[in-house]
Amino acid sequence: MALLDIEGLSVRFKTSSGLFAAVEGVDINVDRGEVWSIVGESGSGKSVSMLATMGLLPWTAQVTADKMTFDGQDLQQLSSRQRRRIVGGEMSMIFQEPMSSLNPCFTVGTQIDEMIKQHLGGSRKERHERALDLLAQVGIPDPARRIKAYPHQLSGGMSQRVMIAMAISCNPRLLIADEPTTALDVTIQAQILELLLRLQEDTGMALILITHDMGVVAETAKHVVVQYAGRQVEKQDVKSLFANPRHPYTEALLSALPERAGNQARLPTIPGVVPGQHDRPSGCLFNPRCQYATEHCREVEPVPAADDPARTLCHYPLEDGISPSPAAAGAARDNPQSSPHREVRP
Amino acid sequence: MSRDAVLSAVNLTRHYQIKGSPFSKPATVKALNEATFELYPGQTLAVVGESGCGKSTLARVLTMIEPPTSGKLTISGHEVSLKEGQRPPAALRREVQIIFQNPYGSLNPRKTVATMLEEPLKLNRKEMSAAERREAALEMIAKVGLRPEHADRYPHMFSGGQRQRIAIARALMLNPKILVLDEPVSALDLSIQAQVLNLLADLQEEFGLAYVFISHDLSVVRRIADDVIVMYFGQPVETGPAEEVFTTPRHPYTQALFSATPVADPNRRRERVHLKGEPPSPLAPPPGCPFAPRCHLATEECTQLDPPLDPVNDRVEVACIHVDQAAAKYAVAG
């Protein structure tokens, strides 16, 4: 049985202009000790789907799912009291902005202690020792001194280490990291990612990494979920995702990476922008930007084929980089190289 | 090079004085130390480094927002000599324009696109009539890939990528020779980033612009730069042609920076050059080479002497006394 099992997760927000579906049809099942990544651009609903899992969304959000269980417990049926016992303890989360996620009024020691007190208990002395232990574990030099530091006295990398120490303080079985390194420099990012992977290996917890950086995905995750405009467009293991993307969006996104563009004079681009709340197209949400889109794509919303392990949300999933779409023949003629995208000026 | 440099900087330095308070002593922050480089028309010079390395200070000095503490800055053959608080001559200000990282913060929310584009003309080209200004603005709007109906809209009606196009259009209104781009694509999504990079390449070709491209994203820099300056703690540590610096990084910091950058290829697992710790505090700079506390090659000598940029060959300069050792080690590991 999977540790985290989510099927058909949808999140709708009540807005002045009616319900807005921020996330729709997300399936993810994470086993013990697995490293997953959710990748997508801003507005793809990657954070919202995980916040919904944690139960951290405001009351304006309507969360529905066909199935949403953590270690066999139905997350939708939990009372707030039961949920509080799981969230932060067995299932914990790290956020993007380490500086603003810590409370500026308390020392880091107090904030770590609060977590341990809530979930594990123990005497003051035991808790203090555990906190020192944790700080050493996440690679903070001189923990005895740093435990008395206030967040403003720490750099971004150090604050993120403190956040990680808090998140792992109660030996979680699932750690969700929401863009944990986006606000940090690359050399610090490398340190933090290495730390997360080391902790994951040592403790055997499952790790879900939310990111927009394909480089981070390639170097850390084993399995990847790609989201676009709130929909899960495909789900594959990392090697086959990079070698054989199934959804045209993934293919286009990968070829827009400067490092994969090779010596082409122009970077392949995806024309247009991610649709917002008010300009969602009919049919497939990616159709206005998709080079393979047909009339069928513009009218009928795709559903993943039952026999497709990647659960590609596309009428014409790519097979080995070739689209079976009738529109693909024309596209290939215009652009004989394997890289797909014609430049279309908006 | 035979062509004339459109901008040249010699030992450009910018220090900030921090006033003392009852609790702290006054101090000097050396935000930028002895940067020397030349920029040619149609070329892109990339400045690479982590936060706090003086990239943005360099941008502020080049755009004459701030005068250098010492050193010589020459723009289009005119030497800029500014005192604190003095405004640079209008003729020079027109030559250098800047584009900021955050297209949400750098556009005035209460002005339409056309008003913003016409404003520089109003101030600098007084002979133009309102109709001419409008025409020039519309022409520029088309050049950066927006539509004419966008002219009378406000910034909040645009997406991030479109806003960055507006910022680019505004910077180009006075036909500058140099564009300073301070992290122009790092706030944008991947699919939009490629669009803006292509636009910048087109405009560079069309107008023969020289770019100073400040970025921490090495895959972007590798793609567009002709020359690279790698900075650490306010000092250039390695300079040279992009291709050469990227294929054979010689300074231990450059090597660490490159190996820390994630590569979008799951089949590639590289040996990392590990970097311990974090950049030093600018208020308490370490003695000798500022990179020594984090460097795996550091020796006693490194803590005593701050190495100057030394030419390795006729193209590349590196500020490290162990450069041969570093290069050899990287070649083996790579």
pLDDT surpasses 90 at B201 = yes
> How far is Cα B250 from Cα B263, in angstroms, rounded to an integer?
20
State residue B181's pLDDT score. 95
Assigned token pair, A313:
């949300």
CB atoms B191 and A252 under 8 Å:
yes
Confidence band for B129, pLDDT divided at 50, 70 and 90: very high
Distance from CA of A267 to the nearest CA of B (A): 6
User: In the predicted model, is pLDDT for residue B274 greater than 80?
Assistant: no
Domains and CATH numbers, chain A: 4-227 (3.40.50.300), 245-334 (no CATH)
Q: Bridge-partner residues for B212, per DSSP? A: B45, B180
CB contacts of A141 in chain B (<8 Å) are: 277
| pLDDT over 70, % of chain A | 95
The single-letter DSSP state of residue B150 is G
Calculate the average pLDDT of chain A. 89
The mean per-residue pLDDT over the stretch A257-280 comes to: 84
With tokens 């003309």, the residue in question is B121
**Annotated domain spans of chain B:** 7-247, 250-334
What pLDDT does A129 receive?
95
Q: Is the pLDDT of residue B64 over 60?
A: yes
Say which amino acid occupies A213.
D
What is the overall mean pLDDT for chain B? 89
Q: What average pLDDT does the segment B98-127 reach?
A: 92
Q: How sure is the predictor about A70, in pLDDT bands with cuts at 50, 70 and 90?
A: very high
Nearest of A190, A318, A174 to residue A250 by alpha carbon: A318
pLDDT for A201 beyond 90 = yes
Does the pLDDT value for residue B91 go beyond 90?
A: no
**What string of H, E and C letters represents the secondary structure of B100-120?**
CCCCCCCCCCCCCHHHHHHHH
* pLDDT tens sequence across A118-174: 999 899 999 999 999 999 999 888 899 999 999 999 888 899 999 999 999 999 999
CA dihedral A269, A275, A276, A279 (to 10 degrees): 140
Q: Is B275 on the interface with A (CB under 8 A)?
A: yes
Q: Stretch B75-80: mean pLDDT, rounded?
A: 88
pLDDT at B269 over 70: no
Q: Which of residues 230-259 of A touch B (CB under 8 A)?
A: 238-239, 241-242, 252-254, 256-259
- Greatest pairwise CA separation for chain A in angstroms: 72
Calculate the CA B292 to chain-centre distance.
25
Task: Please say if the pLDDT value at position A280 is more than 70.
Answer: yes
Residue B237 has pLDDT above 90, yes or no: yes
pLDDT per position as a tens digit, A300-320: 999 988 888 889 999 999 988
| Residue in the structure block whose two tokens are 């190996």 | B259
- Report the pLDDT value the prediction gives residue A17, as an integer from 0 to 100: 83
Using CB atoms and an 8 Å cut-off, which of residues 192-231 of chain B contact chain A?
Answer: 192-195, 197-198, 201, 216, 218-220, 222-223
Torsion-angle region of B313 (φ positive above 0: left; ψ -120 to 50: alpha; else: beta): beta
Q: Which chain B residue has its CA at the smallest distance from A192's CA? A: B260
Largest pairwise CA distance in chain B = 68
Q: Which candidate, B51, B14, B18, B97, places its Cα nearest to that of B233?
A: B51
Contact B190 A257 (CB under 8 A): yes
pLDDT the model gives residue B284: 84
What per-residue confidence (pLDDT) applies to A336? 43
CA distance A85 to A70: 13
Instruction: Given CATH 3.40.50.300, say whether it is the number of domain B7-247.
Output: yes
Give the Cα separation of A95 and A18 in Å (integer).
Answer: 29
Question: CA-CA distance, A235 to A50, in Å (whole number)?
Answer: 16
Return the H-helix or E-strand segment holding A84.
Answer: helix A80-86
pLDDT cut 70: percent of chain B above it: 97
Picking from B94, B92, B95, the residue whose alpha carbon sits closest to that of residue B80 is: B92
pLDDT at B1: 45
Residue length of chain B: 334
Residue B27: pLDDT band (50, 70, 90) is confident
Residue A82, φ and ψ in degrees, nearest 5: -65, -40
Tell how strand B7-18 and strand B317-318 pair up.
unpaired
Residue type, A340: P
pLDDT for residue A331 is more than 70? no
Of A256, A217, A260, nearest to A239 by C-alpha is A217
> The tokens of A37 are what?
């990544």
At A337, the pLDDT band (50, 70, 90 cuts) reads: very low
Q: Which helix (H) or strand (E) holds B285?
A: none
| Contact partners, residue A22, CB within 8 Å, separation at least 6 | A11, A12, A13, A45, A48, A61, A230
Answer for the pair A43, B188: CB distance below 8 angstroms, yes or no.
no
Residue B123 has pLDDT above 50, yes or no: yes
Q: What's the pTM value of the predicted model, to 2 decimals?
A: 0.87
For the record, the structure tokens of A290 come out as 């998709």
DSSP state of A167: H
Nearest Cα neighbor of A107 from A157, A144, A137 is A144
Count the alpha carbons within 13 Å of A126 in the hemisphere toward its beta carbon. 6
Neighbouring residues of A6: CB distance < 8 A, sequence distance ≥ 6: A26, A27, A28, A29, A53, A65, A67, A68, A69
Q: Which of A53, A50, A98 is CA-nearest to residue A73?
A: A53
Q: What are the pLDDT digits (tens) for A202-261?
A: 999 999 999 999 999 999 999 999 999 999 999 999 999 999 999 999 999 999 898 887
Q: In what helix (H) or strand (E) does residue B59 lie, and over which residues does it extend?
A: helix B55-62
DSSP assignment, residue B19?
P
Give the pLDDT confidence of B135-146 residue by residue, as tens digits.
Answer: 999 999 999 999
**pLDDT surpasses 60 at B29:** yes
Q: Is the pLDDT of residue B271 over 80?
A: no
The percent of residues in chain B predicted with pLDDT above 90, rounded, is 56
